[in-house]
Amino acid sequence: MLRWVRQQLGFDPPHQSDTRTIYIANRFPQHGHYVPQKFADNRIISSKYTVWNFVPKNLFEQFRRVANFYFLIIFLVQLMIDTPTSPITSGLPLFFVITVTAIKQGYEDWLRHKADNEVNGAPVYVVRSGGLVKTRSKNIRVGDIVRVAKDETFPVDLVLLSSDRVDGSCHVTTASLDGETNLKTHVAVPETAVLQSVANLDKLVAVIECQQPEADLYRFVGRITISQQMEEIVRPLGPESLLLRGARLKNTKEIFGVAVYTGMETKMALNYKSKSQKRSAVEKSMNSFLIIYLIILLFEAILSTILKYAWQAEEKWDEPWYNEKTEHERNSSKILRFISDFLAFLVLYNFIIPISLYVTVEMQKFLGSFFIGWDLDLYHEETNQRAQVNTSDLNEELGQVEYVFTDKTGTLTENEMQFRECSINGIKYQEVNGKLTPEGFSEDSPDGNRHSLMKEEELFLKAVCLCHTVQINADQTDGADGPWHANGIASPLEYYASSPDEKALVEAASRVGVVFTGTSGDTMEVKSLGKPERYKLLHVLEFDPNRRRMSVIVESPSGEKLLFTKGAESSILPRSKSGEIDKTRIHVDEFALKGLRTLCVAYRRFTPEEYQEIGKRLREARTALQQREERLADVFNFIERDLELLGATGVEDKLQEKIQETIEALRLAGIKVWVLTGDKHETAVSVSLSCGHFHRTMNILELVQHKSDSTCAEQLRQLAKRIKEDHVIQHGLVVDGTSLSLALREHEKLFMEVCKNCSAVLCCRMAPLQKAKVVRLLKTSPEKPITLAIGDGANDVSMIQEAHVGIGIMGKEGRQAVRNSDYAIARFKFLSKLLFVHGHFYYIRIATLVQYFFYKNVCFITPQFLYQFFCLFSQQTLYDSVYLTLYNICFTSLPVLIYSLFEQHVHPHVLQSKPVLYRDISKNAHLGFKPFLYWTILGFFHAFVFFYGSYLLMGEDTSLLRNGQMFGNWTFGTLVFTVMVITVTMKMALETHFWTWINHFVTWGSIVFYFIFSLFYGGIIWPFLHTQDMYFVFVQLLSSGSAWFAIILIVVACLFLDVVKKVLYRHLQPTSTEKAQMEEDKGSVSSACDFAESRHRGEDNRQLLDPSSLPDSSYVH
C-alpha cells in the first residue's frame, strides 16, 4: 500500500530502468549483490470501488453534483438554525436520491468485481519444483513457467518456450485484442523448443532481458540468454515470441511459456484506455438550467428578506401584540438576524431546485437503453447478433448527431475479399471458371487453360503462395495424392490468415493451379499443377504500416535464394528496377477505379555473397536491445531494393446491403458523412461513388500528394476560391494522410472552412491517430457539432473514443471496436433506425422530462413565495412538511418517468421513412432558451392561477361549509396543493401522444393515490408526529361542494390556454413532425374504418391479434 502511495506521489517510479531482467523459474543468482526487481501481481482490476472506499468515494462523487451539494447545504442549514420546515423535508429526498444512485453504482461495480474474480480465480498450471502445480491466475508471478492447453486463453503475457511441435511453433488467435480473427504463428527459440517435458523445462537455466511494459500490441524487444554446458547462447526475442494475455491458443495441443508481464502491466490491460467521461448536450443544458434556477431562488430569498425588514420598519408590524419578542431577540445582532432570515427563506423556497431530477434521468437512461437491445429491427439473423448498449448516458445524443465519421473496410463493406483481376508481366487476367484468362480472350480459348501456365504466370502465383502469413487448418492433413483429386481439381483447403486480402489471393491461386499446401517447420510446400515443390523459409520481413509491404526470403528446390515482396503500389513500384512497371501502374489505377483493393508483387534473386551480407545484417539488427525497430527498418530497406516487378492483384470488398439508402437518408436528415480509410486514393474514391457517399453530379475537389507546407496552403486557398465561385454545385473533398498532416499543422482554419462547405469528405491513407485528430478538430470547432464515429476494427478505436458517440460494428475484425464503443450494431444499415427512431425518441423524451421537472417545481414553490405577502414574510409554510417531502418523490414522479420510457410522438416507421424529421430536433432544438423560457413562464402562470384562484374563492373570510365555519391556513394550503397535483399531472397527460395501459395506470393512479393518502394521513392522529396540523383538514375540504367546483375551475383555467396555444400553433405554424403526426392521425382513422369493414366481412380476428402479423411487432415500447 505504501509503495502504491509513493508511486502515485511520484516518489517511487515503478520502473527505474528501461529494461527488466527475468530469471526463468525464478532461479535468481546465488552470488553477488542481486536486488530482485519488483513486478506487479497478476490480478486484473476493472472495478472502481472496494468494500472500504465505497461509501466515502461514492459520496464524494455524488456530492460533486451541483443539486446534491446544494441540498446537503440546505439540510445542514435546517439542522443549525430555526427554519420554517423540518430538516426531514430536505434530508429524506436527499437520502432517497443518494441511496438509489449508490445502489445502482454499487450493483454495477459488484458485477465488475464478479467478472474480475472470475478471471483472477481461473485455474492455471505452473511448473514448480519439478512438477505441474495447479494454482489460480492471480498467483502467477513474473518468471513462472506456465502451461496453456488448446483453446485456452493466455493468463499473462508469455514468452513462448516450447510447444507440442518439434519446431516450437503454435497458432494463436488475437480477436479479443486487435480484432483479427485469423490465426497467427508464434515460434520459440530453437534451444528451448526442444524442451517439451516438465522435467526438462525445470532444468532450464536462462535469463530474459526485455523492455518495460508498453501498450503497443505489435512491439516487443528482448533477448534470451540460455546457459548450456558452461556456455551462454543469446537469441533475439520479438513479437513472434510473445503470447499476449487475452489471446487464445488454437490448433496446438499445449505450450509452455514464461511470464514476462503480469496483471495490470500486460499489454491487454495497458490497452484499457480509460474512457474519458462523455457528457451529453442535454446534461450540459440541465446544469445551465440549474444555475438559472439557483439565481431565481437567491433572488426570491433576498427579495423576501428585504421586504420583511421593510414591512417591519413600521412598529406595529415589528412587534404586534400577539407576537411579542423575547429579550434575547431584542438584543441580537441585526446582521445575524438578517443572515438567519435569508437562510430561512432559502430553506423555504429550496424545492424550486428539483433534487429528484438526477435520479429520474438516470433511471430513464438505464431502463430506456434496454429498448435498443430488444429492437428486432436491429437484430442480425445471419450472425445472431443484436444491438448492444455499453453507455446508457448518451441515449439522447443519438438524436443530435451532425457529423458521421465512418471507416470503410468492414463498416461500409463486408470485409469479405473476392479475387477479381490481376496484372502479370503487363497483361491483365481474370479468373473465369477456375482458369486464369488473359483479358480479351473468350472463355473457351485454349490460351486460358491453366495447364499451360507461362513461366511469368507461374512465378507470380508462386510469389502469391509463398509471401503471406496464411495458415492451414491443422485437422486437414495431406492424403496420398495431397489435396488433389484424380481429375486435377483441388479439394477445398481451409485457410486462416490475419489479412482477408491474403486469404483471397491464396485461395484464388489454388483455384487456378498453384496450391499452398502448408508449412512443416521452416519448409513451405507448394503444388504447381499437382507437382509438389518445397521451399525453405529463411527469413520473414514482417509487414509494417510505414513500409506498407511484407517480404519472405526462401530457398528454392534448386538452391536459389529468392526474395518475394508484396505491398502497396506506392511502396513497391519505386523500388522496382525491371518488369512492366508503366503498364502495371496503369492497370493498378484501373483496378482502383473499379473499387478494387490493389497489391503489387515483385521478387529479387540473391547471389551467395549478397545473401551472406543480408543474413549478417538481419542477425545484428534482431539481437539489438536499443533502437531495434529503426535498425530493422534500415536493413529491410537495404534488402527490398532492385526488385523485378511481377504484377499486381485486384481484390473486391463487397459493399454491405442498403449502404446507399442509409447514406442518402443521413444526408436528408442534415447529417454530413465523412469516410476515413487507410485505403489508397483511387480505391477509396471508387467505393465512395458506388456507395453513394459521392454523387456523380458532385464536383470532386482533391488535396492529395502534397509534400510541402507551401503547396498544400496554396491548394487549400484555390479550393476555397472554387467553392465560393461554384456555390450552387455540391462539392466533395478528397484528402490523403500526408496532405492532411500538413493542413492540420499550419492551416487548420482554412482547411475547416473548405471541409464545412463540402457535402461529403473522404480522407484516405489515414493512420488510426489521424482519424481521431480529424474527429477532434471538428468536435472542437467554434460551432461544436455533435459527432458520431463508427468502425469495426482496432484501428477505429481512437476515433470511436474521441467522438461524442462511438459506435462499433460487430464485424470480422474482432471485438476491440465493440468493446470501446458506446453502442454496438451488426451492420451499418442499422444506423438509420438507431438515429432516426431511437435517437429521436430518446431526445424528445428526455427534453420534455427535464423541462417538465423544472416546470412542476416552479408550480410548487411560487405559491409559497406569494403566500409570504399575506403572512408578513414570517416564513410560515403554505404546505405541510409531509406534502413538501412527498411531492417530488411520490405524487408527481411516476407519470413523467413512464412518459420518458414509452412516449412515441410519431410512429417509428414514419420517423424512419422521413429522415427529414430528424432536422426538427437537431442543435438541441427542444432544450434551447425559448422552450426553457416557455416552460418556466408557464410554471409561474399556473402557480399564480393556483394561488390567486384559491385566494379569490376563500381568501375574504368566505364560509364554504354548511355550518358557517371558516377555512383555515392549512385548508387553504391543501386546496392549492390539490389543484397543483391535479394540474401538473394533467399537463403531463396533455404532452403524451402514445398511451399505453401503464400510462393510464400511473397518470390517473397518481391522482387517486394523492387523494387516498391525504384522507389516510389527515384522518388519523399519528402518535409519532409532534404536531397534528393536518388532522381532518382534507376531509373538511372535500366536504365542501364549492371546493370541488374551485378545483375543477382552476385546473380548467390553467390548462385551457395551453390547449388553445397547442391547437393554434399546430394549425398555423406546424413543424415537420406535427405535419407527420396529422398525416398519421388521418391514416389511423382510415385504417380504423378498414378494420371495421373487415370485421363485417367476417375476417378472422385472431389473425389480427397475432403479434407476428403486426407491422411494428419488432418495436414495442
Residue 872 carries which DSSP code? T
How sure is the predictor about 928, in pLDDT bands with cuts at 50, 70 and 90? confident
Asked if residue 765 lies in contact with residue 730, where contact means CB atoms within 8 angstroms, the answer is: no
Active site residue 407: yes
Backbone angle region of 1052, left / alpha / beta, with phi > 0 → left and psi within -120 to 50 → alpha? alpha
Per-residue pLDDT of 961-975, as tens digits, reads 655 555 667 788 888
How far apart are the C-alpha atoms of 228 and 207, rounded to whole Å?
A: 12
Residue 576 main-chain phi, psi, to 5 deg: -95, 135
Per-residue pLDDT of 570-580, as tens digits, reads 888 888 888 88
Helix H or strand E encompassing 461: helix 455-466
Nearest-CA neighbor of 573 among 511, 638, 646? Answer: 646
Q: Which amino acid is at 126?
A: V
Asked if residue 938 lies in contact with residue 1058, where contact means CB atoms within 8 angstroms, the answer is: yes
Q: Does the structure show a pLDDT above 60 at 449? A: no
1021 or 618: whose pLDDT is higher? Answer: 618
DSSP 653-715: EEEPTTHHHHHHHHHHTT-EEEEE-SS-HHHHHHHHHHTTSS-TTSEEEEE----SHHHHHHH
Nearest-CA neighbor of 220 among 175, 270, 155? Answer: 270
Task: Give the three cell numbers for residue 414.
Answer: 463486408
β-partners of residue 528 are 514, 531
CA 417 to chain centre: 27
Task: Give the three cell numbers for residue 664.
Answer: 442518402
Task: Give the three cell numbers for residue 1107.
Answer: 403479434
Look at the alpha carbons of 83, 89, 92, 95 in this order and tell me if their dihedral is positive or negative.
Answer: negative
Q: Which of 157, 167, 178, 407 is catalytic?
A: 407
β-partners of residue 228 are 231
Per-residue pLDDT of 974-1022, as tens digits, reads 888 999 999 999 999 998 988 999 999 999 999 999 888 888 887 766 5
Global pTM value: 0.73
How far apart are the C-alpha atoms of 881 and 229, rounded to whole Å?
A: 89
How far apart are the C-alpha atoms of 845 and 440, rounded to whole Å?
A: 62
Contacts of 244 (CB under 8 A, 6+ apart): 154, 157, 174, 177, 217, 266, 267, 268
Angle at 368 between CA 362 and CA 370, to 5 degrees: 120
**The pLDDT of residue 982:** 93
DSSP 595-606: TEEEEEEEEEEE
How far apart are the C-alpha atoms of 939 and 918, rounded to whole Å?
A: 29
Angle at 307 between CA 306 and CA 308, to 5 degrees: 90
Task: Give the three cell numbers for residue 467.
Answer: 509471401
End-to-end CA distance of the chain: 50
318 or 809: whose pLDDT is higher? Answer: 809
Asked if residue 524 lies in contact with residue 554, where contact means CB atoms within 8 angstroms, the answer is: yes
How sure is the predictor about 157, in pLDDT bands with cuts at 50, 70 and 90? very high
Per-residue pLDDT of 711-724, as tens digits, reads 888 888 888 888 88
SS3 annotation, 781-834 = CCCCCCEEEEECCHHHHHHHHHCCEEEEECCCCCCHHHHHCCEEECCCCHHHHH
How far apart are the C-alpha atoms of 75 and 803, rounded to whole Å?
A: 40
Per-residue pLDDT of 129-142, as tens digits, reads 878 889 999 889 99
Residue 880 main-chain phi, psi, to 5 deg: -70, 150
325 or 568: whose pLDDT is higher? Answer: 568
Nearest-CA neighbor of 414 among 591, 595, 666? Answer: 595
Q: What is the mean pLDDT of residues 668-685?
A: 81
**The pLDDT of residue 349:** 83
* Of 298-312, 483-497, 663-677, minimum mean pLDDT range: 483-497
Per-residue pLDDT of 752-774, as tens digits, reads 888 888 888 888 877 777 788 88
**The pLDDT of residue 202:** 83
Residue 392 carries which DSSP code? G
Per-residue pLDDT of 369-386, as tens digits, reads 889 989 888 888 888 888
